[in-house]
Amino acid sequence: MNIIGTLCVYAAICKHEGKPLRFPGSRGAWNSFMDASDADLIAEQHIWASVDPYAKNEAFNCVNGDVFKWKHLWKVLAEQFELDCPEYEEGVPTLAEMMKDKGPVWDDIVKEKELLSTKLEEVGVWWFADFVLGVPDSVVNSMNKSKEHGFLGFRNTAKSFISWIDKMKAFNVVP
């Protein structure tokens, strides 16, 4: 699943409503180490695993190879949408709660900004974002097995995050 599109839609709605980009997750997720998987890196690894004999009949994790904290990456998201980014606050509703009545707001944004014609439920997977942002502690995976078998792919998560946000904007999905 892809969380970036969902977060871009949330940020676009915050921008449209003149609200700051509040973090709707747990304090643990805000402060703990996390990892991410860039879709292009996953594709690269799948191609490698399908043609390298040393990878035959093996299962591999695929993550970027670095770690991040949401408190840092959230600021990157806010910058990309020119939003204020407050520090962590207790009691911020989940995205599913915040977005349940925002369909008409999204329709207005799509019309006003001449975006690709989409409905909110087509571009926001709120339950998944709430799951990812709600974890209580660090979530990291190891790429050791992949490296030992010869796959050395890597992505810088912050740069990847910006790249995918730029793609969402370039494809006219978000303003």
Residue 94 lies in a domain: yes
Residue 175 lies in a domain: no
> Which residues have a Cβ under 8 Å from the Cβ of 161 and sit 6 or more positions away?
4, 36, 73, 76, 77
Residue 64 lies in a domain: yes
Find the domain containing 113 and state its range: 4-170
**pLDDT (tens place) for every residue of the chain, 175 residues total:** 789 999 999 999 999 999 999 999 999 999 999 999 999 999 999 999 999 999 999 999 999 999 999 999 999 999 999 999 999 999 999 999 999 999 999 999 999 999 999 999 999 999 999 999 999 999 999 999 999 999 999 999 999 999 999 999 999 999 9
65: tokens are: 């190879």
* Total structural domains within the chain: 1
Residue 28 lies in a domain: yes
Residue 32 lies in a domain: yes
Q: What is the CATH number of the domain that holds 23?
A: 3.40.50.720
Rg (CA), the chain: 18
